């Protein structure tokens, strides 16, 4: 499981540039699913037909894209100005290392005369790629190129620390589930979506194309178990969550109840999730194609949208078990 998470987390894939992640996933699941296709927005759809051909269509969605930065200007000294791809808290990216698709590394810093350093705006920040001039910088990057956090993936005390666990850990859960080949009469659509971080975009067209009977977003959620954090009843290591609500969806009662049933009957630990901020692919799936009963299973994750996010490997493994019980 850790190896799958690490491989996917270390693959380059900011929103709109998820191709390498899709290729890595195809390598992992080919032979274990009946059909693999990519739709016009880049969503990777892997279908496992149910036994008997009488079952329902269940869509499981995890997004392939990760947050990052996009180059908007190169100045005459070779410094890059940039905008965000997805939600980037400015004060946490200061001093971070980023890497472009071609391997070019940059350091994010800010104009030294910035007065309110706590509320520094992206406009006051720049990326230094160790170039001495606009021309030299232009040899490595151009306007519109995207970079992602450069940070490794490690395992320690049963927990994983890595960049991009949002949502490569969700992709890893779906890959592992596909490898387990759960026996069910239902058709399972493993959907690896694009452009979630910029507005849940890929999932919308994927769901419209499939029109599933039921859908789950498999993503990360915040926790409420770190010093002096906001109150939230989710803790690392106490099980995957059954989503009740986030800012994009109120889970369908039938979907939510089935998940809870599946967890109880199989003695799988779970937690109930009410996420105060942030949405998931379920947000766009449930309002597609006449309406699709949707919900979510999340991996409790500390420090979401930072260079070092943290999950507990037991939660990841239990998420696989929970989904396996659910699709049956």
Residue nearest to Zn ion (CB): 167
| 128-157 positions binding Co ion, by CB under 5 A | none
Closest CA to 149 of 316, 309, 312, 310: 309
Whole-angstrom distance, CA of residue 187 vs CA of residue 51: 8
What would the two tokens of residue 4 be? 């799958």
Cβ nearer to Co ion, comparing 166 with 222? 166
Which of the residues 196, 197, 309, 324 is marked catalytic? 196
State the minimum distance, in angstroms, from the CB of residue 182 to Co ion. Answer: 27
What would the two tokens of residue 251 be? 């889970």
| 214-243 positions binding Zn ion, by CB under 5 A | 219
State the minimum distance, in angstroms, from the CB of residue 167 to Zn ion. Answer: 4
309 part of the interface to Zn ion, by CB under 5 A: no
Cβ nearer to Zn ion, comparing 187 with 219? 219
Q: Count the site residues for Zn ion by CB under 5 A.
A: 3
Cβ nearer to Co ion, comparing 137 with 275? 275
Cβ nearer to Co ion, comparing 131 with 310? 310
What would the two tokens of residue 268 be? 């799988």
Residue 146 near residue 14, CB atoms below 8 Å = yes
Angstrom distances, CA of residue 315 to CA of 6, 243, 327: 16, 14, 18
| 270-289 positions binding Co ion, by CB under 5 A | none
| 159-178 positions binding Co ion, by CB under 5 A | 166
Closest CA to 80 of 71, 68, 93, 70: 71
Q: What is the DSSP letter of 33?
A: S
Q: For residue 230, how many other CB atoms are within 10 A of its CB? A: 9
Q: What is the DSSP letter of 286?
A: T
Q: Select the residue interacting with Zn ion from 145, 166, 222, 238 (CB under 5 A).
A: 166
Active-site residue, 317 included: no
Question: Which residues make up the interface to Co ion (CB under 5 A)?
Answer: 166
Question: Which residues make up the interface to Zn ion (CB under 5 A)?
Answer: 166-167, 219
The residues annotated as belonging to the active site are 196
């Amino acid at each position: 499981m850790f190896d799958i998470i690490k491989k996917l987390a270390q693959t380059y894939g900011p929103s709109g540039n998820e191709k390498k992640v899709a290729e890595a996933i195809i390598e992992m699941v080919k032979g274990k699913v009946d059909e693999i296709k990519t739709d016009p927005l880049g969503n990777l759809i892997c279908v496992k037909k149910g036994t008997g051909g009488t079952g329902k269509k269940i869509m499981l969605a995890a997004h392939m894209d990760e947050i990052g930065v996009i180059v908007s200007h190169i100045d005459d000294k070779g410094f890059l100005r940039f905008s965000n791809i997805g939600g980037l808290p400015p004060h946490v990216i200061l001093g971070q290392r980023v890497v472009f698709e071609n391997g070019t590394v940059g350091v994010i810093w800010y104009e030294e005369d910035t007065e309110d350093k706590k509320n520094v705006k992206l406009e006051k920040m720049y990326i230094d790629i160790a170039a001495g001039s606009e021309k030299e910088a232009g040899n490595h990057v151009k306007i519109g190129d995207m970079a992602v956090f450069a940070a490794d993936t490690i395992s320690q005390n049963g927990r994983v620390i890595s960049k991009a666990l949002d949502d490569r850990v969700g992709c890893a859960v779906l890959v592992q589930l596909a490898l387990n080949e759960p026996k069910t009469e239902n058709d399972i659509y493993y959907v690896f979506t694009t452009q979630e971080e910029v507005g849940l975009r890929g999932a919308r067209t994927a769901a419209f194309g499939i029109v599933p009977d039921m859908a789950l977003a498999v993503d990360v959620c915040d926790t409420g178990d770190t010093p002096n954090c906001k109150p939230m009843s989710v803790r690392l290591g106490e099980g995957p969550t059954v989503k009740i609500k986030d800012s994009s969806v109120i889970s369908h009662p039938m979907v939510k109840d089935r998940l809870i049933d599946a967890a109880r009957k199989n003695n799988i630990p779970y937690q109930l999730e009410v996420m105060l901020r942030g949405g998931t692919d379920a947000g766009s799936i449930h309002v597609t194609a006449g309406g699709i009963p949707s919900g979510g299973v999340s991996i409790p994750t500390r420090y979401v949208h930072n260079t070092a996010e943290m999950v507990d490997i037991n939660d990841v493994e239990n998420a696989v078990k929970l989904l396996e019980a659910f699709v049956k």
